[in-house]
Each structure stands twice: as C-alpha cells, then as structure tokens.
Amino acid sequence: MKPGLDKAELSQTTKPTQDLFRHVNGSWLDSTEIPEDKAVFGSFHMLADDSELAVKEILEEAANNPLPGVSQQIGDLYASFLDEDRVEKLGATPLVDGLSKVNAVSNLKELHSLMGHLERMGVGGLWGSYIDNDPGNPERYLVHFYNGGLGLPDKDYYTDEKYKDVREEYPLHIS
C-alpha cells in the first residue's frame, strides 16, 4: 500500500457532487473483501496486518540466526513461545502459583489487592483503563474505563449466529 492519494482509485462512475463518499471509496469498496476473521477492515487494519508480518519476519530471523546480545534474547523468547512440546510437558505447572493466589482470596479487600498486583504485572482484569481527551471538552483529560473480560474479538462473536461454531469451540480453546 502506497501513501497518498491515488487518483486511479477514484470512482469513474460516481461524480463527487453526487456522492463524495462513493466517489472516493467506491473502487476500494468494490474490490476489497473484508476477511472472514475480521468484523471491520480498512487501510489501518491493512497497515496493522503488514506490520505484524514484518515483526514476524524479524522474530523468525532472530530465532533462526541469533546474534549474541539482544537479537539472541529476542530469538530465544520467540522460540519459547513456539515450543509447544515444552508447553505440553509443563502443563498448568507455571500457573499454579498464580492460581493459588486467586484461590486464597477470601474477601473483597484481598480481591482488590490481588487485582492491583495482577494489573502491575500486566495481567488484565475485570476492566481496563486509559487516559484520553474528554469527548465533550478536548482541552481536558479523563480516565476512561472499559470492559476487560471479553476473550473473543468483539461482541458480535457472542451474539451473531454466524459465529455459533466459534462460540461452541471457544470453551475448549480456553480450557
């Protein structure tokens, strides 16, 4: 994908005075298929996909030809993520300590403490938060909260009939 405006992509059949959106986006809409695994798709999604592929190439190169130092550390870490045999061998053992902390919670104060501890470790909880502009007043900032408990890409996966198979397989995937 090239940056900038490609005039060849402008619709030749729809005039900008008739429908500016269709004039600017019509060719792309007609020729681009939304991938089945995505609820939405556009240029930023394409850039994200391209970036992920580029990162994957860097990781694979580091794993296959590690140079001493940071490259080797990156390659080793990536290889450890792909080591399914080791994951199967270890099973749930690496989770025992964390799960025992969860099982030990007996009151709300302990739950809050554990959630704070997990949040500091980068483990998401029941919600997440971020700071951004106030939509009603861009000169001030607000703390925004969001649901942190969805495991599937978006709410449609939980409600839309076309994702029924995914919903049925999901419990097996996470167990």
Same domain, 79 and 11: yes
In a domain, 27, yes or no: yes
Same domain, 75 and 22: yes
For residue range 3-49, list pLDDT tens digits in order. Answer: 777 888 898 899 999 999 999 988 888 888 888 888 888 889 999 99
Quick one: pLDDT at residue 123? 83
- Rounded to whole angstroms, how far apart are CA atoms 173 and 63? 27
Same domain, 132 and 70: no
- Rounded to whole angstroms, how far apart are CA atoms 78 and 60? 8
Domain span at residue 49?
A: 7-84
Same domain, 78 and 11: yes
Number of domains in the chain: 2
For residue range 130-167, list pLDDT tens digits in order. Answer: 899 999 998 999 999 887 766 888 888 899 999 999 99
Q: CB under 8 Å to 79, separation ≥6 — which residues?
A: 63
In a domain, 64, yes or no: yes
- Rounded to whole angstroms, how far apart are CA atoms 49 and 39? 14
In a domain, 143, yes or no: yes
In a domain, 111, yes or no: no
Same domain, 11 and 78: yes
In a domain, 148, yes or no: yes
Q: Which two tokens stand for residue 87?
A: 């994951």
In a domain, 117, yes or no: no
In a domain, 118, yes or no: no
In a domain, 113, yes or no: no
